Amino acid sequence: MATRHLYAVRHGAADSFGRLTDAGQRQSELLGERLAGLPVDAVWHSPLPRAVRCAQIVGEYLPGVAVREAAELLDHVPYVPDEMPPAWAGFFDGYDAAQAAEGAVIADSLTDRFARPAETETHEVLITHAYPVAWLVRHALDAPPVRWLGLDCGNTALTAIEYRDGLAPTMLLYNDMSHLPAELRWTGFGPGALP
């Protein structure tokens, strides 16, 4: 098996209808410029419109690279703890067992497909959502499942993970926004002081 280089990204900033905002479009362009410096083999995106559009924009900076949908990148809640941390009880309120099972299936399909070495060395961009990125990071660190809840990421922030044969995954970058100017960083978070 050969190394898979994964670049996991939350799509650009979107409005309440799920469409990229002007800021989200610009973030996507800047992400495309950054990724153009890498030997990208494929761009995979979630079926949801905000991820589709972000991937289309990124693809404009990567001539000849296939941009395709992957159902595994759909937004989902990857894991619902049996023992709920009190601070998260409101978040999961009304979330039933069937929905939890559905999310777990997608989460497993995500790691089964992408979080492993590849047949030949490959560099793949995944344009997805905050929770799937958190789940990939949690998985790479072999952290307890509940720890996905402590991971958040910004729009078009870059998370890079390498999967080498016979080794634990290597986290190279998490939530890196260095391709974005200050005014386009830290979108996708709740209100509060930012570093």
Ligand X SMILES: O=C(O)[C@@H](CO)OP(=O)(O)O
DSSP, residue by residue, 63-80: TT-EEEE-GGGS------
Out of 131, 135, 148, 163, name the contact with ligand X by CB under 6 A: 131
Binding part of the chain for ligand X, among 54-62, 95-103, 109-117, 128-136 by CB under 6 A, reads: 128-136
> Of 65 and 134, which CB lies nearer to ligand X in the complex structure?
134
Of the ranges 91-99, 109-117, 127-135, 162-170, which one interacts with ligand X (CB under 6 A)? Answer: 127-135
Q: Report, in Å, the least distance between residue 92 CB and ligand X.
A: 14
Contact 42, 68 (CB under 8 A): yes
Pairing of strands 4-10, 122-128: parallel
Minimum CB distance to ligand X, residue 2 (Å): 30
Structure tokens at 146: 């509940």
Q: Identify the DSSP state of 38.
A: S
Residues from 22 through 81 that contact ligand X (CB under 6 A) = 50, 75
**To the nearest whole angstrom, how small is the minimum distance from the Cβ of residue 130 to ligand X?**
4
Within a 10 A sphere around the Cβ of 134, how many other Cβ atoms? 22
The residue type at 60 = E
Six-digit token pair at 108?
Answer: 């497993």
Binding of residue 10 to ligand X (CB under 6 A):
yes
Minimum CB separation of residue 134 from ligand X in Å reads 8
Helix (H, G, I), strand (E, B) or coil at 186: coil
Evaluate the CA torsion angle 170, 56, 130, 92 in order and state its sign: negative
Contact segment (CB under 6 A) with ligand X among 28-36, 61-69, 100-108, 125-133 equals 125-133
Q: How far is the CB of 50 from ligand X (least distance, A)?
A: 6
What DSSP element (H or E) covers 50? helix 49-60
Exactly one of 129, 138, 179, 185 binds ligand X (CB under 6 A); which one?
A: 129
Question: Where do contacts with ligand X occur on this chain (CB under 6 A)?
Answer: 10, 50, 75, 129-131, 188
